[in-house]
Amino acid sequence: MSFGYSRRGFIGTGIGAFAAPAIVRDNQERNRISRADLIYTKPVVRGEEGMPLGNGRMGTLVWTTPSQIRFQINRVDVYANNSYSNSFFERNNDYCGGCAHVEIEFSEPVFAGPDFRQHLSIYEGKMTIACRGAKAELTAWPHQDVIAMQVSASRATVVRAKLRMLRHASQYFGKQLETFATEHMAAVETRSHMALSQIEARGDRIVLTQEFREDEYYNKSAVAVGLAGAKAEIADETEISLTASAPDRPLTILIASAASFDKQTNVADLAVRQLDDAASKGYPAVAAETSEWWHDFWSRGALELHSDDGVADFVEQNYNYFLYVMASSSRGKFPPKFNGMIWNTGGDLRTWGAQHWFANTSCYYEALFSTGRLELLDPFFGMYCGMREACSVAARQQWGSRGMYIPETTYFDGLEKLPDDIAAEMRELYLMRKPWADRSAGFRKFSETKHPHSSRWNWIASGQYKKGRWTTQERGSGPYGNVSHIFGSTAKIAYLYWRRYEFTLDREWLRARAYPMLRGAFEFYRNHPNVQKGADGKYHIRYANSNESVWGARDTDEDLSAMWGSGAALLRASEILDLDSDLRPAWKEFVTNLAPLPLSTDSDALKPDDYNGPRVFTRGRKPAVKAGRGVLPDPNSLPMWFFDLCNLESHDADRLSVANATFDAYFRRGISADTPVSVLSKLAIAAATLGRPDAIRNLVPNQIRALSPERNTAYKDGVVLANRMTLREGPQALDAQRLGRAAEALHLALLQSAPPEPGGEPVIRLFAACPKEWNVRFTLLARGGFLVTAAIENGDIHSVQLLSQTGAPCQLRNPWPGAAVEIVRADGRAERRNDPLLIFQTAKDERIVLRRV
């Protein structure tokens, strides 16, 4: 297959040499994006393999039975409980997201036959389902929370739109029954938590509302379904429907939703208003607006890959599908939960519950910067900004520190404020100043109703009822659990705020958002009671976890990296904003005197006693409560890649050498087409960062393929589902985590813009880890606000184009080492250079072309 310009011309921004007439460009872009479409030629047998359809705030998988099109409407801003809950202390029983079941039911089995076809067009944001003369077309309106569809069938077919509750119990054993008791209501009580659902008919509109209450907590959602001219019918207290005969022209069915944490907001009215707005526009207008939105989305960046063996094409297909999934689910108040996102189909069942794990969430969001669609990061940043005050209180209460503590696992609103006596005892216990066995009766009782997934209570392993009383089983290591003493997540999250500044140079973002997060993360470490200067004049940390496998160790790699990276970025941000100049000397002294990263050559390194391999990074130093797997190298022992501490631009050649040795030692048997890469692994990202194209050739596609199941109970018919998602986290925990990890690795293989150290000036480097047989064209965003357009074909880099969105100075590694480069400005001015590192000034919105002379 040829990769010549005539066959696969570059799409994207249409600037410079790759520009093409608009019609040609649109058709080429359509063809390129459409290679990632989903097409089913037979119905899937399980709802979890339905096709995703969403507008970023509400979404559903869409699947069929012989006589139905089925949905579960989910939202990113629906949570049954928050951090103060005492009602969900059993693992995996807390829930979020789900709003209602919807079925479009036909009076005959229209979706049973050999001509079945279900097609998701990600370029149009449109889905079609057709079989035996029936056809449905569906779209999710980006501008309001409405899923719209047109349904066509034979004249004799009756169409029924059914709206059903997720919960079916109708018992309520409280004194406030009269407050809530109305017709057609179902109420489910879980200890002190109440979930109430109610259905109602409003002419040819039907509505389902659900309400969650516990003490001061409140959340409410509504789903409204409209079918013009249909008759409403209530089947029972949990189900309501609209029925109409299929006329000569298609029926339009609309599904709207709304949610709020405000008791005064009438979400039912809000959902109906959105439905009415869509109805007044009509389906063709809604579908046209949706397509226009998606066309604009795809035009703002591009990535095209090809290789003769089809591997690069496969990577491209999954890359664009990942962008579709994120645009369909990450435009709301909160980020989609890693374990199900907004694609659940099994009611409230959601393995791993309603809390957010940063390690999992990061899979989706670290990949988005280079795409240029930074608005998709807004829910992530919004959630963590929203919990900043709660996490600042937690830093003081739980750890006796300052700044801010964001735990690895937490509710959407952070951590609850503790009673003073519980907080005081927790500090003594968790800082290892009070024996675990000496816990007070009050502390034990307080912890009994806390969720064991929370970092704060993760020393709880499980629980069970004994003689009618809930009793907990501990992990057996005092206050330690997998995520109990992970501190690095705070700094990793803060560093992503800094990274957004680096990509945009938005000073207001830096001042209002990034700086407070960086300051909070670094001050937490600097004031942590277990971070102290030793006799060697270096700052050391004790009793910390490194990732989930090392507990209670000293000088953990994760924490030393976090202190180093967040501190350096904070110092740079402080200088840019001219803030906290009085604190800079103390900050600089702290960063300068941090203990070095632990190595296998250290006498006290966490390593097997008989280790005699190469010098590699280790997870920490002794002593440790739990030393992890006890083997080297550990795949998680490369923490510096989170904070720009080790990359091809690094000035520290020894650290880069150790990083390469650690990577090589992990793959002692080499890397092949059969090398598995786990869903959450950053090994492909590591390979790209180190400039290893031979590793990228297999690690990126193998991570996408998910060669082997990681939890056997989660997979029934193979690892990757028909919709390209997996169930790595368990039943109903649909995810695209591996696609995000692979996307980040791919970006770094093609375009790097890392500084030589955190807080430094970024350097653009092209195709650092691109396999030689891959032909590539891209438009991606680099730090400094440069939109970079480049192509490589048969190992030859074509001209490079830059759109400077900020007017920042540009540093770019010569794409043609040893050759002269001509820098051509938009006005025709040209400058010839032959430096290894090209440094030149740009103007805001200036377009520049670089070409080999």
469-527 pLDDT, tens digit each: 888 999 999 999 999 999 999 999 999 999 999 999 999 999 999 999 999 999 999 99
Measure the CA–CA gap between 374 and 392, rounded to whole angstroms: 27
Asked which of 313-327, 493-507, 573-587, 702-716 is least confident by mean pLDDT, the reply is 702-716
Q: What is the mean pLDDT of residues 266-277?
A: 98
The DSSP code for 616 is: -
Q: How does pLDDT run across 763-808, given as a tens digit for each residue?
A: 999 999 999 999 999 999 999 999 999 999 999 999 899 999 999 9
pLDDT at 842: 98
Q: Does the pLDDT value for residue 17 go beyond 80? A: no
3-class SS of residue 528: coil
Residue 129 structure tokens: 């389902």
pLDDT at 174: 40
What's the pTM value of the predicted model, to 2 decimals?
A: 0.96
pLDDT at 415: 98
Q: List the beta strands (DSSP E) in 142-230.
A: 146-152, 158-164, 185-190, 193-202, 205-214, 217-227
Measure the CA–CA gap between 722 and 654, rounded to whole angstroms: 45
Distance of CA 538 to the CA centre of its chain: 36
Q: How does pLDDT run across 123-144, given as a tens digit for each residue?
A: 999 999 999 879 999 999 999 9
Local confidence band at 334 (pLDDT 50, 70, 90 cut-offs):
very high
Residue 23 structure tokens: 């019609």
Where do runs of H (alpha helix) occur along 238-345?
A: 267-281, 283-299, 311-329
Q: How does pLDDT run across 362-374, given as a tens digit for each residue?
A: 999 999 999 999 9
pLDDT at 169: 60
Q: Does the pLDDT value for residue 4 go beyond 50? A: no
Pick the CATH number of 761-852 from 2.30.30.280, 3.40.50.720, 2.60.40.1180, 3.90.950.10: 2.60.40.1180
pLDDT at 23: 65
Domain boundaries, the chain: 37-88+96-299, 311-341+353-371+644-760, 388-474, 761-852
**Helices and strands per DSSP (H, E), number in the chain:** 19, 38
CATH number attached to the domain at 37-88+96-299: 2.70.98.50
Q: How does pLDDT run across 240-260, given as a tens digit for each residue?
A: 999 998 767 799 999 999 999
Q: CB within 8 A of 705, min separation 6: which ones?
A: 719, 720
